[in-house]
Structure 1
Amino acid sequence: MSDRPIERPLDSAVRSAQDIRVTARRLAHVHEAALADDTPPEAPPAEPRAVIGESWRRVRTSGLDPDGEQPQRLLPVAELEHRRGTSQLAAVLPVLNDGLLANADAAQQIMVVTDAEGRVLWREGSAPVRRMADRLGFDKGADWTEDTVGTNAIGTALVARRPVLVHSAEHFVRSHHQWTCAAAPLHDPRDGRLLGTVDLSGPAHTFHPTTLSLVSAVARLAEGELRTRHHRSLERLRSSAAPVLARLDGRALAVDPHGWVVGVTGLTPPDRVALPKVPEAGPLWLPRYGMCGLEPLPGGWLIRLGRPAREAGPGSVVLDVSGRDGAAVTVSGPAGSWSHELTPRHAELLFVLAVHPQGRSAAELARDLFGDATRTVTVRAELSRLRRHLGGVLAHRPYRFADGVAVEVRMPPRPVHLLPQSLAPAVVAARRT
């Protein structure tokens, strides 16, 4: 989960049905004034909460009509089943159900789990509320991102990368004003990669100030379960790999399918090795070790380190920041290509280096990322982590992409959507170009 604080969901004094009705009317006035570009009313809150105001600005830029129909193109059944079967969140559904379903039924709400693209994978809870959701297209396979349905807890949490509650007229689309929803992002505890969201939604009168805290706590439990499962799988692989490594001469590593290291011989063990998304047995160029040989192990891979070929260095890099759900870097060379999904901070760093091919000093990068040239220690620490995956791609003194590496940046169609969760000054400036 993100370490950023959870924004307080509206006024914590909102308790009774009358309070909820008053709050809904107040939010409706703010919503109408904002869409009309008028000054919001003086009665507090005088303007939308920051997370809501930022979302409204994004949605208005995309051209979404607050009064229009939002037709849904649900995923085909086969695609929905494929996404369910390959999602890591399938393993933690029992945790989510135990923590939220009883509450959802009692509070006339539904529990929804989406993937990182905002597609609804699972939906359970109150039958009458499910029927209400059907009328909005809020069904399994639906796209619940901001671009499609405007400001809502799921789509806004995916952009903000933190828990979000959206109540009544805080929704951008007027047909959603009768709803309240609270969603928390779910991350892969191994590397922080966004996996999706878990959400509680229901009629606006079911609002309760503790809902967001409940959803956030259950999301943390689910991430803890993923961490435990990961540790168990590593222990199983470690047991089977240990006798193999003991018989080998030279240098070798045993890794799981995602590159997490469980054993080595002849070298200092790293935490992780950057493997292709679909590894295959045979020769493989790795950014930290050069040419290697990949052999299958039960539940993982054996990597034999050979003598690096001089010509087997990376030739090109594609930095893809075009999506709304994360960024990735793809490195290509004589032995093929491999991709690595980036944390938000590493995406910012590589973007700045890509637009400054001549290189940046630590102080310049600190200004680019934090607006503070003194934060060089943080910059160097992040670059050190990044070089574990891109050691053959990045150079230093100054920090830059290595000589001879061709760099391509894939930008989003609209500059305003560039790394939308980033507050780095360099990224904010690039959105305005």
Structure 2
Amino acid sequence: MSPAPGLEAALTAFEDPAAKARDLLRLHRAWAHTHEVPAGARGVVARSWLRQTPEGDRHSSPISDAALASRRERSALLASVVPILKERLLPLAHEAGNELVISDDEGYPLWMFGPSPVRRRSDGLGFVEGARWREGDVGTNALGTAMEERRPVQIFGPEHAREDQHAWVCTSAPVTDRRARTPLGVVTLSGAFRTAHPHTLMLVTMAVREAVDTLAGEHDRDLRRVARASEAYAGSGRFVVVDRHGWVARAEGFGVGERVWVPGSLHAGSVWVPEIGQVRAEEIAGGWVLHEERSVATTVEVVRGPSARVVVRTGSGSDAATVEIPLSERHAEIVALLVEHPEGLDTGALMARLAGATTPVTIRAEMSRLRKRLGGLLESRPYRLTATAHPR
């Protein structure tokens, strides 16, 4: 068995770990002496070394017990898959003399399991529960580098930035929450470099994948509960039912994908939602019902510059709401043109006014992407904004 495509183990099954460590030590000393990454460093290691300078050993002090308990409490989703991760990886950890470490989304180890000898050695490095282990804290290491790279990583011996970690091999994979599409944490197996094996990278990755699939299954069950909570709205017109992250549980009269963007400040009342348009939001258990609403006044402001965006304002008084939608420079340029031409522009007119617009197909592709961002604010034939608009 070899690592899956896209997974890069630190050494092959046929390499001698001791000989490999000697070769890597020469590279590490060259980097430490010249502050330049030498040829021969693996890509993931070279990128990590480039993100720092070899300025001596760095250490991270653990947070208080109360702060650690608070972090565990806020990591409830991650905690829910700890039993799966222990079941899949802890037997391997004990057999290989490794420890299993599960850290949160900021790089703080929250749970550490494994044989006492390796745990004691880990404690001697300061790799303990509550001590943040990002690259910025302790240099190149599998946990921190996996967070930077956002993918599974194996770091072997002198690939670690700190010399006191050169006797270790560590294999890490990030855990991602499908609901918010954000990292939940990182799972790591670590131990003496003589225990290194390319299979470890695959096993950690597969265990994390199973944990993510388990979370996804729970999310699907949550969506079904949200859909059931919306039964009373059946036949009440066009609406979309979403959970608190915008995942669609039900839709009547709207053709939407599996997720729509909803503002983080979503509240009951009138609001504008990309892909749907103007809606009236009503909270239900676990989510929101977004009813179609056409009667509320909407204005659009396009902001150019280093952070191009469209500002959509709906309603007035206590019901007023503002939503900001980031745009690419090209999309901001297109919206600005439509603001200047409220009567609308067809494909040819846009093509004549946009620098670098080579073909009608290019224009139509850009407008298709823009409509996904602006939803009901943009109509075609000709392309025009459906709300009062002005530039800033």
What residue is the counterpart of 1:295 in the other structure?
282
Q: 1:145 to 1:215 in 2, by over 3 A?
A: same
> Match for 2:143 among 135, 154, 169?
154
Q: 1:50 to 1:269 in 2, by over 3 A?
A: closer
What residue is the counterpart of 1:163 in the other structure?
152
What residue is the counterpart of 1:268 in the other structure?
255
1:125-183 CA-partner distances (Å, limit 9, x unpaired): 22332232223222222222111111111111112222110011000111211211001
Say if 2:30 is the partner of 1:26.
Answer: no
**For 2:32 and 2:108, how far apart are their aligned partners in 1?**
27
Conservation of the 8 A alpha-carbon contact between 1:104 and 1:110: yes
* SS of 1:59 mapped into structure 2: coil
What residue is the counterpart of 1:56 in the other structure?
49
Matches within 5 A, 1:40-79: 47-60=40-53, 65=55, 67-72=56-61, 74=63, 77-78=66-67
> Match for 1:108 among 77, 81, 97?
97
Q: 1:270 to 1:130 in 2, by over 3 A?
A: same
TM-score (norm 1): 0.69
* SS of 1:138 mapped into structure 2: coil
Conservation of the 8 A alpha-carbon contact between 2:102 and 2:112: yes
Q: 1:255 to 1:356 in 2, by over 3 A?
A: closer
**For 2:251 and 2:58, how far apart are their aligned partners in 1?**
57
Return 5+ residue gaps in structure 2 as ranges. 315-319, 336-357
Counterpart code for 1:111: L
Counterpart code for 1:35: A
Query: Which one has the largest radius of gyration?
Result: 2
What residue is the counterpart of 1:235 in the other structure?
224
**For 2:379 and 2:139, how far apart are their aligned partners in 1?**
42
What residue is the counterpart of 1:421 in the other structure?
none
What residue is the counterpart of 1:283 in the other structure?
270
**RMSD across aligned C-alpha pairs, in angstroms?**
3.9
Task: Count how many residue pairs are aligned between Structure 1 and Structure 2.
Answer: 354
Matches within 5 A, 1:23-422: 23-37=20-34, 47-60=40-53, 65=55, 67-72=56-61, 74=63, 77-78=66-67, 80-82=69-71, 84-189=73-178, 192-241=181-230, 243-248=231-236, 250-277=237-264, 279-307=266-294, 309-313=296-300, 333=313, 335-337=320-322, 353-354=328-329, 358=333, 380=365, 388-391=372-375, 404=390
What residue is the counterpart of 2:338 in the other structure?
none
**For 1:394 and 1:132, how far apart are their aligned partners in 2?**
61
Q: 1:34 to 1:86 in 2, by over 3 A?
A: closer
Counterpart code for 1:285: W
Q: 1:83 to 1:39 in 2, by over 3 A?
A: closer
Conservation of the 8 A alpha-carbon contact between 1:186 and 1:196: yes
TM-score (norm 2): 0.76
Aligned-residue offset at 1:298: 2.1
1:191-240 CA-partner distances (Å, limit 9, x unpaired): 75333221111222322221111111111111211221111111222223
Moved more, 214-223 or 385-394: 385-394
Counterpart code for 1:20: P
Counterpart code for 2:290: I
| Identity across the alignment (%) | 35
**For 1:316 and 1:270, how far apart are their aligned partners in 2?**
28
Aligned-residue offset at 1:49: 0.9
**For 1:80 and 1:96, how far apart are their aligned partners in 2?**
20
* SS of 2:13 mapped into structure 1: coil
**For 1:114 and 1:219, how far apart are their aligned partners in 2?**
13
Aligned-residue offset at 1:305: 1.8
Q: 1:256 to 1:35 in 2, by over 3 A?
A: same
Counterpart code for 2:40: E
Moved more, 302-311 or 196-205: 302-311
Conservation of the 8 A alpha-carbon contact between 1:284 and 1:291: yes
**For 2:71 and 2:189, how far apart are their aligned partners in 1?**
24
**For 1:108 and 1:332, how far apart are their aligned partners in 2?**
57
What residue is the counterpart of 1:366 in the other structure?
none
* SS of 1:227 mapped into structure 2: helix
